[in-house]
Amino acid sequence: MRTGIFFLKTNYLLIASILFFQFFINSCTELDRDTIAIGLNTAPITLDPRYATDAISYRITRLLYKSLVDFDEQFHAIPELAVWKKISPTHYRFTLVDALREFHDGSLLTSADVKATYESVLNPDEASPHKGSIAMIESIHAVDPNTIDFKLSYPDSLFPGRLVIGILPEELIYKKHNFSREPIGSGSMKILNFKNDMHLKLKRLHDNKVIEFITLKDPIVRVLKLLKGEIDLIQGNLPPEVIAWLDQKESIHIEKKRGNTFTYLGFNMEDPITGNILIRNAIAHAIDRESIIKYVMGSSARLAGSLLPPEHWAGHPNLTGFDYNPEKARMLLNQAGYHDSSPLRLIYKISNDPFRLRLATIIQDQLASVGIEVEIRSYDWGTFYGDIKEGRFQMYSLSWVGLKVPDIFHYIFHSKAIPPHGANRGRFVDSNVDLILELAESEVSLDKQAVYYKELQEYLLKALPYIPLWYEDNILISKFNVKNYTLSADGNFDSLEYVIKN
């Protein structure tokens, strides 16, 4: 009987706690149906375009700020805020054209703001990561409120394409305004608030619609939130099997567009094993890229034969890399002196991203079938990146995101671009490559430059400092009622300016 009484009391406790939760549950918040919410896998690090280097920061600052120049689909530089004229090979004149060039604080964007922005990027005290890309600027002169002159220390026919940093108001630059958290630009959206790094709200200026960016690190949660309608769209960064599963859902719309994110295998040319061209060729023939793309990546990539995609003005129209040919790979390995009795052993370094790790294990398996024993070593980003830059690797894989200007070839393959002077991480030294690069750079006409770069790309596929793998597609996953969102090649968020929700 006593225990019976006790049992009644504990029941009360349980009922009380259930009621307690019911109270919370009943006070369920209504979803705000009027905003358009985008789920991100990482938060933007900064909203100051002078410091933005990560993809998310870059994409969001494009909405907040306008720059002098932008790129078209073939990655030609095109006017955004200004048109330009080449007065001499080292003198460019930009004229501001956009009639609606007002900053979010109401002031007019003038040449003084352009000058202040670029001077602050060039100022060593500001430590902008973009300083290197505009280091050829010798002086900046505001001729009148609409005209600005850039004088260069050496000729650079790609110069206009480098002026893509968003313009900030001069006055606030001098006041050391914290643009990273309180951005003020002249873009199509202005900031509403940015709390906790995980929740960014912008206001679209033409219709006062609120656009929200919500950071959701866990991909499954991002998907669940989309299904529940708490976010409206996600762009990329989901496992292929999840995308395939979502494709069957009626409430979800999926769209793909070819992108220019270039994934490759890099080699250390100073290493006796990976420095051997026979071995690099063997590896290139041993990887079945088409199967990986079809079965592992859900067909959301296309074969790559070079750093720049074929549609780039300096890209090569018909390079797709190596055929899958395991017999040939074995033969090349035999030539290099490796047999089943004395197999080739390699260390393959990658980051700790789960999807990259999975791809690496597949490549490991494919290489094993031709007799190459690969040991995968996966590190956190800081350690991995440090090792790659220092040349502490035999083989690694990484991607280049958002490549636009072809001087990237110099930066990656010129013998003088070994870190810290560039990104020639594999210590690739080839006088032919240096020569073609220098010829291309000294050429004034872009068409003639393109010819050199095509020649270079063919040559690189023979010299093989990189094995090109694929260009990854951009993927949009949205609720069905989201309209007017067009994917771009570099994955930018520009079409958020027009997106609507029915």
Partner 1 sequence: MYLNYIIKRLFGAVFVLFSILTLVFFLIHIVPGDPIEVMLGETARAVDREALRHSLGLDLPVIQQWAEYLRGFTHFDLGMSLHSKQHVSQLLLQRIPATFTLSFASLFVAVLIAVPLGILSAVHKDSIWDRLSMMSAMLGVSIPNFVMGPLLILIFSLWLEWLPVSGNEGMNSLILPALTLGSALAAVLSRMIRSSMLEVLQEDYIRSARARGLTEFKILVFHALRNAALPVVTILGMQLGTLLAGAVITETIFSWPGIGQLMIESIQKRDYPIVQGCVILISFSYVLINLITDFICVSLDPRIKVD
Report the distance separating Cα 94 and Cα 163, nearest Å.
Answer: 10
Q: Please tell me whether residue 129 binds partner 1 under the rule CB under 8 A.
A: yes
Question: Which pair of tokens denotes residue 306?
Answer: 């070079």
Question: Which pair of tokens denotes residue 135?
Answer: 């280091």
Which amino acid type is present at position 385?
Y
Phi/psi region, residue 321 (left: phi>0; alpha: psi -120 to 50; beta: rest), is left
Q: Please tell me whether residue 131 binds partner 1 under the rule CB under 8 A.
A: yes
Report the distance separating Cα 242 and Cα 44, nearest Å.
Answer: 24
Among positions 106, 272, 317, 420, the unique one binding partner 1 when judged by CB under 8 A = 420
Tell me the per-residue interface mask from 133 to 172 with partner 1, x by CB under 8 A, - otherwise. x-x-------------------------------------
Using the Cα atoms of residue 107, residue 111, residue 114 and residue 118 in order, give the sign of their dihedral: negative
Among positions 41, 180, 320, 325, the unique one binding partner 1 when judged by CB under 8 A = 180
Report the distance separating Cα 188 and Cα 185, nearest Å.
Answer: 9
Q: Please tell me whether residue 448 binds partner 1 under the rule CB under 8 A.
A: no
Q: Please tell me whether residue 411 binds partner 1 under the rule CB under 8 A.
A: yes
Name the segment binding partner 1 (CB under 8 A); options: 123-131, 280-288, 290-298, 437-445.
Answer: 123-131
Name the segment binding partner 1 (CB under 8 A); options: 84-92, 156-164, 210-218, 272-280.
Answer: 210-218
Closest CA to 162 of 102, 84, 103, 101: 84
When the beta carbons of 45 and 303 are compared against partner 1, the nearer one is 45
Q: Binding residues for partner 1, how many (CB under 8 A)? A: 64
Q: Least Å distance between CB 303 and partner 1?
A: 26
Q: Please tell me whether residue 124 binds partner 1 under the rule CB under 8 A.
A: yes
Among positions 141, 217, 339, 448, the unique one binding partner 1 when judged by CB under 8 A = 217
Q: Least Å distance between CB 382 and partner 1?
A: 3
* 468 neighbors 224 (Cβ within 8 angstroms): no
Q: Please tell me whether residue 248 binds partner 1 under the rule CB under 8 A.
A: no
* 93 neighbors 84 (Cβ within 8 angstroms): yes
When the beta carbons of 51 and 470 are compared against partner 1, the nearer one is 51
SS3 letters for 140-183?
Answer: EEEEECCEEEEEECCCCCCHHHHCCCCCCCHHHHHCCCCCCCCC
Q: Please tell me whether residue 215 binds partner 1 under the rule CB under 8 A.
A: yes
Report the distance separating Cα 362 and Cα 94, nearest Å.
Answer: 50
Tell me the per-residue interface mask from 326 to 355 with partner 1, x by CB under 8 A, - otherwise. ------------------------------
Return the residue matching tokens 């690090």.
45
Burial environment of residue 207 by CB neighbours within 10 A (0 to 12, 13 to 18, 19 or more) = exposed
When the beta carbons of 6 and 295 are compared against partner 1, the nearer one is 6
Q: Please tell me whether residue 380 binds partner 1 under the rule CB under 8 A.
A: yes
Q: Please tell me whether residue 245 binds partner 1 under the rule CB under 8 A.
A: no
Q: Please tell me whether residue 72 binds partner 1 under the rule CB under 8 A.
A: no
Summary count for the chain: helices (H), strands (E): 14, 19
**CA angle, 256 as apex, 254 and 258 as ends, to 5°?**
175
Q: Please tell me whether residue 399 binds partner 1 under the rule CB under 8 A.
A: no
Name the segment binding partner 1 (CB under 8 A); options: 182-190, 385-393, 442-450, 455-463.
Answer: 385-393
Q: Least Å distance between CB 480 and partner 1?
A: 17
Q: What is the dihedral of CA 122, 126, 128, 133, to 10 degrees?
A: 10
**What is the footprint of partner 1 within residues 10-29 (CB under 8 A)?**
10, 13-14, 17, 20-21, 24-25, 27-29
Closest CA to 488 of 71, 66, 47: 71
Q: Please tell me whether residue 45 binds partner 1 under the rule CB under 8 A.
A: yes
When the beta carbons of 179 and 485 are compared against partner 1, the nearer one is 179
Q: Least Å distance between CB 386 and partner 1?
A: 5
Among positions 313, 324, 355, 385, the unique one binding partner 1 when judged by CB under 8 A = 385
Q: DSSP string of 318-386? A: T---PPP-HHHHHHHHHHTT--SSS-EEEEEEEES-HHHHHHHHHHHHHHHTTTEEEEEEEE-HHHHHH
As beta bridge partners, residue 477 has 234, 254
Among positions 89, 337, 354, 419, the unique one binding partner 1 when judged by CB under 8 A = 419
Q: Least Å distance between CB 457 and partner 1?
A: 21
Q: Least Å distance between CB 404 and partner 1?
A: 13
Query: 264: which residues sit within 8 A by CB, 6+ positions away?
Result: 304, 307, 397, 398, 399, 400, 466, 467, 468, 469
Q: Least Å distance between CB 170 and partner 1?
A: 20
* 91 neighbors 173 (Cβ within 8 angstroms): no
Among positions 102, 138, 182, 218, the unique one binding partner 1 when judged by CB under 8 A = 218
When the beta carbons of 124 and 272 are compared against partner 1, the nearer one is 124
Residue 123: HSE in the Cβ half-sphere, 13 Å Cα cutoff: 12
Footprint of partner 1 (CB under 8 A): 2-3, 5-7, 9-10, 13-14, 17, 20-21, 24-25, 27-29, 31, 45-46, 53, 124-125, 127, 129-133, 135, 178, 180-181, 195-199, 214-218, 220-221, 224-225, 227-228, 230, 380-383, 385-387, 389, 411, 419-423
